[in-house]
Structure 1
Amino acid sequence: MIRVGRPSQESVPEKTPRDAARPSLLTPVSSMRSFWGLMRAYWVSDRWKEAWTLTLVIALLTALSSKAGVWFAEASGELVNSIAFFHDAANTTPLRTLLVNAGILVLLVLLKDAGFTGIRNLVSATLHRKWRGWLDSRFNEALLDTNHTHFHAQHASTGSGTPAPDNIDQRVQESIKDMTGGAIGLAMGVFSVFTSFYFVGGALLKSSVEVKGLEFLGSYGSAALALLAVAIYVPFNTWIAVKLGGLLERLNVRMQQAEGSYRGELTTFLRRSFHVAASQGEGVQRTMHGRLYVDIDGTWTRLNIVNTVYMSFELIYNFIGARIVAYGPGLVPFIHNGLDLKGYITGSELVNSLIGQCSWFIHVMPAIATLRANSQRVTELANAIENVQHPQEFYSQTGRSDFHYAAQNPVFGLTIQKLELAHQGEDASPFLSAANLRFRRGEWTFLKGESGCGKTSLIKAINGLWPYGHGTIVFPEGVKSFYAAQEVKLQPVSLKQLVCLPGSEHDHSDAQVAAALYKAGLGDFISHLAEGSREGKSWDQVLSGGQKQKLVVARIVLQQPGLLFLDEATGALDPEGKIAFHQAIKDNCPDVTVISVMHEAVAPRSMTGSEFYHSIVAIADGVATKKPLVPTLPVELTTILAQPRPVEDKWLRFSRRLKQK
């Protein structure tokens, strides 16, 4: 069974690499690798009833809003007519007629804007929230799988010929949020255009009259003239809007990349704030921030210029459309007495409504550009996730990646055969070779070598977290493993949950967790098991580096792994703390196989002077060799043996005299 990648660092996985060597054919985002696949995924998912119910309600409210637009145009014509004939002798109740028509118009505005449009906004916002939440869960599930997709997606820079996705957090949160909102708005706009053509176009045809010069069209003359004006004016300006929108799309993508890089550096800086302060590196950090912001500022400048041009274009377009194109076609029959004032105003308002609905693409082109930019970033992430589902195949595109994982009887422990590690590149020479390494059950092994020789890389390769090289790793069947790294990051959950990771806090009783904390030297925190923070600070902020590493000991004691990897896991502890760290594991994890990397040149010993470790893997000149640990005598015993031994000296002198005689 072949695989690169294994479940969870600093945790006890439920499966070994060979168990996880059966990746599923589909990921939760497999259908979202293209724009249309991303758009329809929610509507064909297990939540399809929810999606389609909300969609149909939005469609119904959109149709009613379009129909209300026709009522509004007719009511506007009635109001203008009552104003024009206010002083007409035939109008016996001019004030009453005027007020009634004005009241009807106000009621229609309330019905359309506060009723149909307002409720539609609420339902569309609900659809936005549901769709975004579903997509967020899909991408989180895809990234946080047992294949370590989140790890491979970030560290495989050129595996598929395209760079790794930058700012994954931004893509999952901001890009998905803006994309779903933009897509819903786009869909509502498209549907509004069709419903407006149906209702408004029908009303125009119904009120159409013959136009001089277009007698061959009969009574459809004025409607044809109005539709022709709309057909010429709107598409031409839409073409201009599309060109400007394409430029806005490219600038939006660039802006997101620049903002993401700056935000990422700020986040990294705040995490290493102490180190910057201790080294007085504020000047360098300030320069770096300034350099990153230059990119934001330059892109923002270009984006503002294009937005200003687009805003001016839109204002001019709206004025010409509402005041000239809408009222122009009806002038011809009005001048020739084919239409009265009421008919002219009603027809012009209908044309204005039609232009407004058809111009929706122009009004929201910046939003459409943002939608395309955001969808591009989301589909790029989906493709990156899909590409690394078979990590060795992915890494093999840029170097040799041929690791084999197998299983054997746990009695034989862990075996490494013909292992070579390299860097990216087809012709890259191996920097570390291990012909045959065997780690027996219960054996403790100390990895020794100069800094940079590949000690950590060897542990990563055993755990499936090194991409390039080849070899065979045979794990003990059914044995859980635990990888403890030097840097410990704690999630913002309760203390009990932190100790119980990767399982649930319900897997162990409070007494078991408390006992593990006590054995790890964190007994002072037993009374705070249920707390997610202390004094407003998360446990990651409360605990020191050494305490975090003791927390790892508590996890080990609680989980009882059979295979333990310590990757400089005691770096933040003092000498006594390192001894206590090892002693807790020795006392509470019988038969555990330990493979450890430490800064020390000599493996630590217990307080009584006995050795924790049984063997050493020495790495020199790129070759890893294993040999038994030569016991060294404790300092106290060496001192005693170096002192004179009077009884022994007297016996030796007596023996010599006997021989002389």
Structure 2
Amino acid sequence: MRSFWSLMRAYWISERWKEAWGLTIVIALLTALSSKASVWLAEASGDLVNSIALYHDPDNTTPLASLLTSAGLLILLVLLKDAGFIGIRHLFSTTLHRKWRRWLNGRFNDALLDDNHTHFHLQHGAGAQVNGIAASPDNIDQRVQESIKGMTGGAIGLAMGIAGVVTSLFFVGQKLLELSTNVSGLEFLGDYGSAVLAFAAIAIYVPLNTLIALKLGRLLERLTVSMQQAEGSYRGELTTLFRRSFYVAASRGEGVQKAMHQRLYGDIDRNWASLNKINAGYMSFELIYNFVAARIVAYGPSLVPYMQNSISLKAYVTGAELVNSLISPCSWFIHVMPEIATLKANARRVIDLAVAIEHVQKPRDFYRLSGHSDFHYGTQNAVFGLRIQNLELMHQGTDAVPFLSATNLRFRRGEWTFVTGDSGSGKTSLIKAINGLWPYGRGHVDFPEGIKSFYAAQDVKLPNVSLKELVCLPCTRHEYSDAQVAAALHKGGLGDFIEYMGQQAREGKAWDQVLSGGQKQKLIVARILLQQPGLLFLDEAAGALDAQAKIAFHQAIKDHCPRITVISVMHEAVPPKSATGAEFYDSVLSIADSVASKKPLVVNLPAELTTILEQAQPLGRQRFPRIRLKEK
């Protein structure tokens, strides 16, 4: 779906092609019947005008009956066309719109939410461009929802308009040729003189004005794209505000936020003003065009043979109505040029998103466009645990230098490692890189084969699903029983919520609003206890808990997840201990001077034991071959 036409035909060559073509054929048949009904309406209009003109004719013995019959037939034909053919066609066209949009929306959701973490890479590709298209498209939510909806609806309307033009040219043109007569001065055309005059008037008038409409349409398209970008940015900032409204209130940042909103809405207002001017001009152009088409172009060609007394009044009115009914579909592009401009704008935004999604399917190649990216991920026997070799982390830019290096790190099975370092030293970046979520750098990471890993971050954002589903993530709620989930909630410290675990909300609020920061981190403990990963990454995952709750956090994992390997980033200078004073962690990974190094945890010894060891030192190391303790 890298181009307009490939995007347009994707649904019709997909696995749903029978559905797509079935609805399309029905719509095409109803469009043809509607065009044929236009011919019947033109003839009925001619009969009605003729019955009015001959109402007082002495030869007309039943003038009232003729008038009422003509009027009744005309009304029936209007009902047949508008309520029958066009109304039913609208039902089928909106059904096609709904199904096409659902299919296309599903394709984009599948692409964004694949195992490649495409949604993540799209958001972290800022600055990179591929063939002039930004690697990180703006307002992806707007593109997936509003742009797809507008594009599919506009495309179906455009296709029906084209079908209407073709069928009208066939049926109406056929009738014009049938009613055609010779015209003085155009005798060489024979009986096709009046039809040629009608076709010539249409061929000159419609294309000339279509060119004007196209120029105005290009302006509308550019302004529509700018308007969509401005509205998407403003809406995105509003959404962000409501997600962090507490922090805005706590910092009294309403003034700054207000200024930001005013600036963003200013972009909307400027684009809207320009768009209104062009739309006003286009509306005036269209109204004048319609008047000239209906009153001059339609009635002009047949006036010549009527003045020459070559055709009757009935034939003149019928011919004029036929020309008018032919001008209308041929002018369809003029009437919907604003919608076409919107269609093209929406299609452009959808195509840009599709191209960006395609480019990030190979993340390493994608990130190499804007920096160094040469990470290699593999597996090794689970006995050897997790291994990291020659790891260097960088920021974006081809001339970037490593801000963190790790030559050789090993984490054996069952080992708990505490990661420490100054703020901004790269602790979180290291965890992200191990999990394939850091874009720039190089190195090798070998995971233990067959071991499930789990990454718990500090900020917990909960989707709007039931509490049971929140505990089961990333698995589905069907993979664990209610009893298993309830046990995990109890062990994690959320036993009070067990009775609500089947609910999606509590007291009208989603769980993301119900649970506090500390409770969300207890929810993470419940997930870990339920799913029993073999490799656990904790990135400030207990930062919202108090000292006692942090101990309970670690103790729950220690008690219920045997042989688990833990790598934990915390703000504390020293790792927490159990309530009995026992160490949870076995080693420390320190980051200093842009280098990560790992060593066994240094144990603080009582002064008495330190004195004994110092006195025993002269006796030789051979008397204490297994002691590896020293004072911190």
Match of 2:306?
A: 334
Matches within 5 A, 1:561-576: 561-576=533-548
Give me the whole-angstrom Cα distance separating, in 2, the residues matched to 1:641 and 1:95.
124
Residue 473 (structure 1) aligns with: 445
What's the secondary structure of 2:230's corresponding residue? helix
Q: Is the 8 A contact 1:160 1:387 kept in 2?
A: no
Q: Distance in 1 between matches of 2:504 and 2:494?
A: 16
Aligned to 2:285: 313
On the 8 A contact 1:61/1:120 being kept in 2, the answer is yes
How far is 1:160 from its partner?
Answer: 3.3
Contact (CA 8 Å) 1:160, 1:394: kept in 2 or not? no
Aligned pair partner of 1:124 in 93, 100, 105: 93
- Residue of 59, 78, 89 corresponding to 2:58: 89
Counterpart selection for 2:517 from 511, 520, 545: 545
Aligned residues of 1:314 and 1:362 also touching (Cα < 8 A): yes
1:11 maps to: none
**Alpha-carbon distance in 1 for matches of 2:85, 2:15:** 29
Q: State the distance in 2 between where 1:50 and 1:621 align.
A: 63
Deviation track 1:203-236 (CA, whole Å, cap 9, x = no partner) reads 0000000000100000000000000000000000
SS in 2 for 1:490: coil
- Mapped partners of 1:522, 1:391: distance in 2: 38
Q: Are positions 1:597 and 2:566 aligned together?
A: no
Distance in 2 (alpha carbons) for counterparts of 1:607 and 1:173 = 52
Distance 1:133 1:474 in 2: 40
Give the TM-score, by structure 2 length.
Answer: 0.95
Q: After superposition, what is the alpha-carbon deviation per residue over 1:249-295, rounded to whole angstroms, capped at 9, x for unaligned?
A: 00000000000000111111111101110111101100010011110
Deviation for aligned residue 1:154: 1.3
CA distance in 2, matches of 1:428, 1:230: 64
2:74 corresponding residue in structure 1: 105
Q: Look up the match of 1:151.
A: 120
Note if 1:579 corresponds to 2:551.
yes
Deviation at 1:340, TM superposition (A): 0.7
* Equivalent residue number for residue 655 of structure 1: none
Matches within 5 A, 1:346-385: 346-385=318-357
CA-to-aligned-CA distance 1:71-105 (integer Å, 9 cap, x gap): 00000000000001110000000011000000000
Residue number in structure 1 paired with 2:614: none
3-state DSSP class of the match of 1:438?
strand
Deviations 1:42-70 (A, max 9, x none): 00000000000000000000000000000
- Quick check: 1:250–1:373 contact (8 Å CA) kept in 2? yes
- Counterpart CA distance in 2 for 1:123 and 1:138 is 23
Structure 2 CA distance for aligned equivalents of residues 540 and 281 of structure 1: 23
The superposition leaves residues 303-353 of structure 1 with CA deviations (integer Å, 9 ceiling, x where unpaired) of 000000000000000000000000000000000001110000000000000
Per the alignment, in what secondary structure is the counterpart of residue 234 of structure 1? helix
User: CA–CA distance in 1 between the matches of 2:497 and 2:266?
Assistant: 47
Task: Find the aligned partners of 1:380 and 1:256 in 2 and give their Cα distance.
Answer: 14
Q: Distance in 1 between matches of 2:9 and 2:568?
A: 50
Mapped to 2, the partners of 1:207 and 1:158 lie a distance apart of 65
2:129 aligned counterpart, secondary structure = coil
Which residue pairs with 1:632 in the alignment? 604
Distance in 2 of aligned mates of 1:626 and 1:124: 65
C-alpha displacement at 1:406, in angstroms?
1.5
In structure 2, C-alpha distance between the alignment counterparts of 1:87 and 1:528, rounded to whole Å: 84
1:48 maps to 2:22: no
CA deviation string 1:605-638 (max 9, x = no partner): 10000100111111011000111111125xxx77
Give the RMSD, CA atoms, in angstroms: 1.2
What residue identity is the alignment partner of 1:295? D
Secondary structure of the structure 2 residue equivalent to 1:77: helix
Match of 1:199 among 167, 171, 192: 171
Aligned partners of 2:577, 2:466: CA distance in 1, in Å?
34
- Structure 2: how far apart are the matches of 1:237 and 1:577? 75
SS of residue paired to 1:141: helix
Aligned to 2:618: none
Q: Find the aligned partners of 2:232 and 2:406 in 1 and give their Cα distance.
A: 41
**Partner SS for 2:573:** coil
SS at match of 1:415: strand
Give the deviation of 1:641 after TM superposition. 8.5
Distance 1:72 1:229 in 2: 22
**Distance in structure 1 (CA, Å) of the matches to 2:602 and 2:309:** 115
Q: Equivalences for 1:370-519 in 2 at 5 Å?
A: 370-519=342-491
Q: 1:140 is matched with which residue?
A: 109
Paired residue for 2:619? none
**Would you say the 8 A contact 1:499–1:551 is kept in 2?**
yes
Letter in 2 for 1:144: L
Cα offset, 1:398, TM superposition: 1.4
Deviations 1:532-576 (A, max 9, x none): 111111111110010000000000000000000000001111111
Q: Which runs of 5+ in 1 are unaligned?
A: 1-31, 643-661
Q: Offset of 1:407 from its aligned partner? A: 1.1
> 2:159 matched to which residue of 1?
187
CA displacement, residues 459-491 of structure 1 (integer Å, 9 cap, x when unaligned): 000000111110000110011000000011111
Q: Aligned ranges for residues 225-304 of structure 1 at < 5 Å?
A: 225-304=197-276
Contact 1:209 1:223 in 2 (8 A): yes
Partners in 1 of 2:68 and 2:209 — Cα distance?
39
Q: CA deviation at 1:159?
A: 2.8
Partner SS, residue 249 of structure 1: helix
Superposition TM-score, scaled by structure 1 size = 0.91
Q: What secondary structure, in the 3-state scheme, does the structure 1 residue paired with 2:102 have?
A: helix
2:4 to 35, 43, 56: 35
User: Matches of 1:641 and 1:576 in 2, distance apart?
Assistant: 28
Quote how far apart the aligned CAs of 1:158 are.
Answer: 3.0
CA distance in 1, matches of 2:31, 2:493: 65
Cα deviation digits, residues 390-438 of structure 1 (max 9, x gap): 0101111111100111111111100000000001111111000001111
Q: How far, CA to CA, are the matches of 2:149 and 2:398 in structure 1?
A: 40
Alignment coverage as a number of residue pairs: 608
Question: Is the Cα contact below 8 Å between 1:81 and 1:342 reproduced in 2?
Answer: yes
- Identify the residue that residue 622 of structure 2 maps to in structure 1: none
Asked whether 1:80 is paired with 2:49, we answer yes
For 1:258 and 1:578, how far apart are their aligned partners in 2?
44
Which residue identity lines up with residue 10 of structure 2 in the other structure? A
Residue deviations 1:107-160 (CA, integer Å, cap 9, x gap): 000000010000000100000000000000000000000000000011101333
Q: Give the counterpart letter for 2:221 in structure 1.
A: E
Runs of 4+ in 1 over 3 A off after TM superposition: none
Structure scoring higher RCO (CA < 8 A, sep ≥ 6) equals 1
**Equivalence for 1:654:** none
Q: Name the CA distance, whole Å, in 2 between partners of 1:616 and 1:186.
A: 65
Specify the alignment match of 2:28 in structure 1: 59
